[in-house]
C-alpha cells in the first residue's frame, strides 16, 4: 500500500485506529505474546507514510496556509511518493 494523498493517509490512519480499538474491545490483545508486536500494531502505518505528519496536523491547532501540503483543500491531490 502506498498513500499518495493526505486523504489516503487519513483513511489508512483512521482504519488502523479503528482496528486497534476493535482488537482491544474483543480481548484480542491476549493473542499477542510479544510486547513489541503489540506496540507495532499502532505504529506500522507511520512506517508506511515514513512520518507522523498526519497526526501532527490533525490533532494540533497549528494553522496551515492554503499552499501547505496538509491544508484541507489539498487533501485529494496526489503529493507523496510521486517519482
Instruction: Return the half-sphere exposure (C-beta side, CA atoms, 13 A cut-off) of residue 72.
Output: 3
Residue 6 contacts residue 75 (beta carbons within 8 Å):
yes
Whether residue 77 is predicted with pLDDT greater than 80 in this model: the reply is yes
Q: What is the mean pLDDT of residues 10-26?
A: 84
Q: What is the mean pLDDT of residues 21-47?
A: 69
Domain count, the chain: 1
Range of the domain at 51: 6-74
1 assigned to some structural domain? no
Whether residue 38 is predicted with pLDDT greater than 70 in this model: the reply is no
% of residues, the chain, pLDDT over 90 = 18
pLDDT in tens, 49-69: 888 888 888 888 889 899 998
82 assigned to some structural domain? no
Which pLDDT does position 44 carry in this prediction?
A: 82
Query: First CA to last CA across the chain, in angstroms?
Result: 16
State the virtual CA torsion across 22, 23, 26, 29 in degrees, nearest 10. Answer: -160
Amino acid at each position: 500500500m502506498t498513500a499518495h494523498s493526505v486523504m489516503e493517509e487519513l483513511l489508512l490512519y483512521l482504519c488502523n485506529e479503528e482496528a486497534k480499538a476493535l482488537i482491544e474491545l474483543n480481548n484480542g490483545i491476549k493473542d499477542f505474546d510479544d510486547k513489541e508486536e503489540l506496540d507495532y500494531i499502532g505504529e506500522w502505518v507511520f512506517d508506511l507514510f515514513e512520518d507522523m505528519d498526519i497526526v501532527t496536523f490533525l490533532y494540533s491547532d497549528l494553522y496551515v496556509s492554503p499552499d501547505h501540503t496538509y491544508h484541507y483543500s489539498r487533501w485529494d491531490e496526489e503529493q507523496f511518493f510521486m517519482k
